[in-house]
Amino acid sequence: MSTTFKIAAFYQFAPLNDISVMQPKLLAAMKELEICGSILLAHEGINGTIAGPPEKLAAALREISRITGLVDFNPKFSDAAAQPFRRMKVRLKKEIVTIGPVKANPNEKVGTYVEAAEWNELISAPDVIVIDTRNAYEFGVGTFKGAFDPGTESFGEFPAWVREKFVKGFGAKPNQRIAMFCTGGIRCEKASSFMLNEGFENVYHLKGGILKYLEDVPAEQSLWEGGCFVFDERVAVGHGLQVMDFSTCHGCLKPVSAEDRQSPKFEEGVCCPACADSLTEVQKASNRERQRQVDLAAKRGLKHLGPVA
């Protein structure tokens, strides 16, 4: 069966004015083309993941470029057998990726971009510290061999980790060579700007992120271990951006592996090993009722909507 939907993930740091004028125009254009997904607009740039039939997705990207005036947001594409999003959202934000009230503006200062083909050589160097700028649950799905896990629950915790643990605890010096990465490049691009403003001199980041690496680098040459968590119904992808065997826990919205599903703490639609001990019995009962509705809908050949993505 041929794939009927294509997904485009994109971002660009670039000064944008009149974003409140752009917002309704973008939403109307996407709905006209029957595109679903999410676009964030801020004065620092654009960040989005959208999906639709290939020809309509191509038209949508042209419309985004026309409306915003941006021409270099280099979308990364993947395929899906079904629409991975339920509706279209265009939102105005203070930041297109939230790091918080620190100095971090890639439009002013950014680290050195490293192409996927050159990444292995960089992170294999003995004087390079590799930092995963994503959240702990993403790190748990997969990461690069030898990478640091800051253990953050949100990107906004990254500056505190750098200042309190990386500098004070680990003793990192300004001349330390640092290589950072994230899913698509946006978080490590902003993190590199922050690190430069904190006084670090040799900051590198993976251009296009993990997704570009998994797309370009053959599995037999790869230093990537596990899967890459993605923020849609695919949950995680591997080399060649092939969908991996992960699902999402309804109890905590964290990724669940095939191994996790064998745990006695896993209950379909209710909880997983990460949240089974923290959810109350009332919460579990509510989740069980929702799962019962999902199962009944499936028997009738319908799909229970659940939370809107």
List residues with catalytic annotation.
182
* Crossing angle for the helix pair 54-68 and 19-32, to the nearest 10 degrees: 160
* Crossing angle for the helix pair 209-216 and 116-124, to the nearest 10 degrees: 100
What is d(CA 283, CA 288) in angstroms, rounded to the nearest whole number?
9
CA 237 to chain centre: 11
**Looking up tokens 């670090």, which residue turns up?**
200
CA dist 71 → 12, 65, 134 (Å) = 9, 6, 27
In the chain, which ranges are continuous DSSP H helix? 19-32, 54-68, 116-124, 136-141, 158-161, 186-197, 209-216, 281-299
What is d(CA 296, CA 304) in angstroms, rounded to the nearest whole number?
9
Judge whether 292 and 273 are in contact, CB under 8 Å. no
Which residues neighbour 47 within 8 Å (Cβ) at sequence distance 6 or greater?
A: 10, 11, 39, 40, 96, 97, 186
